[in-house]
Amino acid sequence: MAAYCAVPPDDPFTVSKGMLDALAGELAGPAAAGMTAFDLEQFVDERGKEVLRQLLQDHYDLRKLREEQQAREDPAPVTDPGGIARTRLETGHSRALATLFGTVQVTRCAWRKPGEPNWHPADAALSLPAGRHSHTLAMLAALEAARGSFDAAHEAVTRRCGPVIGKRQLEESVAGAAADIPAFYAARIPQPCTPEVLLLVSCDCKGIVMRPGALRAATAKAAAKLGKMRTRLASGEKPNRKRMACLVTVYDALPAERRPHDVIAPPGGRHGDREPRPGPKARGKWLAGSVRRDPGEVIAAAFDEAEARDPLHARTWVVLVDGAEHQLDLIRAEAARRGTAIHVVIDIIHVLEYIWGASWCFHEAGDPAAEDWVAVKALAVLAGDSDRAAAAITAEADAAGLAGSRRNGADACVRYLENKREFLRYGQALDAGWPIATGIIEGACRHLIADRLNLGGARWGLDGAEAVLTLRAVISNGDFPEYWRFHLACEHQRLYPGTDQGQYTLGA
């Protein structure tokens, strides 16, 4: 490609226009005439990036000339937002800015005062980042890192933008990109709902493999202990490499009344043409999670979101859990602290796992009769009579003369049904049209954590894990474009307090 004048004349975009004309000339020439469609696209993509980068550079050069001209015409002292008057002007202060199109130079005026740092008004006008990488590049890095590994994210950014950011800088950029997520949701006003709409809350925890320095104190202490064997874990030993992340969801749903047979097919399967009635459909779903904060703090955030949706506590609050005692204690304590009436329901799938475990005490592995046995017991539980199901299992185990390990599954099921009976009121739940499964939060655990943070061989630092987890939650909620505008406004005020960056209004 031919060389161009480095200093633009009257038209500040002479250089970029010349590059575009040269590109058009090459496309009209004989070399391009022999290219395939693939080669043409590759050629235009590569040369087009050069033109776009030069267009951006020309614009920054134009702003530099305008600022210098204005400063010469009005050389009065400049007062920065901190109230410090500056009388000395220096031109030609340049800084590099890595962008989507490559690296450009931003040159601006510096107003100075002895003993004080330089003040660059153009930085605030452009809302430039503190570091080398533009906010648009940081946004691309955040989206790519939330989708795949940091290596894959770095490769994707380099493929699109060229070598504008290193892998470590990308990781630091992603951590900074997630900094304002708690403030974003704290300031957000959800859409109101009528009292008949159910308010659903659910939570779960899932482990993330961490680097040793990122483990909680108790886990790190357990990991430091020497195992019984040198080369592998002994039976019952745990590697103690994980830190538990807590996930929560809050959503709305209209009640959908059902009967036990709509959930579990009766023994022998369904007959006739009647279709099972569907359960409640989730809407307005909000997901959040944290690996840094304790589960109690994350559950409190879920209750904050629920109260924002129902400040007068006029709606029915249903909390769906998997039965973990620690979670139950935290949920009940948080509800009591707020004076909120909640209905706790244990996921029916977890109950079915215990019933299936009991079934193999009475049937051979793979026996089709076990399915009908489970259906009878599950229908009793769904009717709200878990005590009857527990008593029937105990009676059958006694009658069969089961003892020792052959009876373990039946006894475990009975203990579970008896200990959790206050949370197994499925008859009330189905009559009222409540959900009785935790599929939404279970799916969130797979999507937010397993699909990204539990990639094979991954070992996380605390900042990176927290950033990726929270960004994936924002993206899953469909809030990322709105969050990014909020984040840019917050970043502007941190870097340039007292200057305007435009108005930002939170929506629902």
In a domain, 14, yes or no: no
C-alpha separations of 200 from 249, 253, 314, 412, 437 in Å: 8, 7, 13, 29, 11
Cα distance between residue 26 and residue 19, in whole Å: 11
Residue 295 has pLDDT above 70, yes or no: yes
Q: Are 389 and 417 in contact (CB under 8 A)?
A: yes
CA atoms of 347 and 436, how far apart (whole Å): 6
For residue 291, what are the CA distances in angstroms to 30, 186, 448, 462, 507? 59, 19, 12, 7, 27
Give me the domain span that covers residue 426.
Answer: 193-222+239-446
Instruction: For the chain, give the mean pLDDT.
Output: 91
Which of 151-160, 386-395, 493-502 has the least mean pLDDT?
A: 493-502
197 within a domain of the structure (yes/no) = yes
- 455 in a structural domain: no
Residue 244 confidence (pLDDT) above 50: yes
Residue 460 lies in a domain: no
The pLDDT confidence band at residue 329, using thresholds 50, 70 and 90, is very high
Banded pLDDT at 72 (limits 50, 70, 90): confident
Look at residue 504 in the predicted model and tell me its pLDDT.
Answer: 38
* Whole-angstrom distance, CA of residue 103 vs CA of residue 126: 16
Classify residue 42: in a domain, yes or no: no
- Give the three-state DSSP class for 246: strand
The confidence score (pLDDT) of residue 236 equals 67
Q: Is the pLDDT of residue 237 over 90?
A: no
CA distance 182 to 288: 9
* pLDDT at 76 (0 to 100): 76
Q: Is the pLDDT of residue 141 over 70?
A: yes
Q: Are 100 and 109 in contact (CB under 8 A)?
A: no
Say how far apart CA 20 and CA 39 lie, in whole Å.
Answer: 18
* Among 448, 177, 138, 176, CA closest to 286: 448
Over residues 376-424, the pLDDT tens digits come to 999 999 999 999 999 999 999 999 999 999 999 999 999 999 999 999 9
Average pLDDT over residues 47-59: 96
Q: Are 307 and 188 in contact (CB under 8 A)?
A: no
Flag whether 175 is in a domain.
Answer: no
Over range 411-438, report the average pLDDT. 95
Tally of domains within the chain: 1
pTM check: above 0.75: yes
The SS3 assignment for 116 reads: coil
Give me the long-range contacts of 167-173 (CB less than 8 A, separation at least 24): 169/131, 169/132, 169/133, 170/141, 170/145, 171/145, 171/464, 173/133, 173/137, 173/138, 173/141, 173/142
Q: Which residue has the tokens 């931003």?
A: 106
- Given a cut of 70, whether residue 101 has pLDDT beyond it is yes
In Å, how far are 290, 398, 502 from 408, measured between CA atoms? 36, 13, 66
Is residue 506's pLDDT more than 50?
no
Q: What is the pLDDT of residue 9?
A: 54
Q: Is residue 489 part of a domain?
A: no
Strand partners, 107: 94
DSSP 434: -
Give percent of the chain with pLDDT exceeding 70.
95
Please check whether residue 154 lies inside any domain of the structure.
Answer: no
The Cα–Cα gap between 94 and 106 comes to 5
- The pLDDT score that the predictor gives to residue 230 is 63
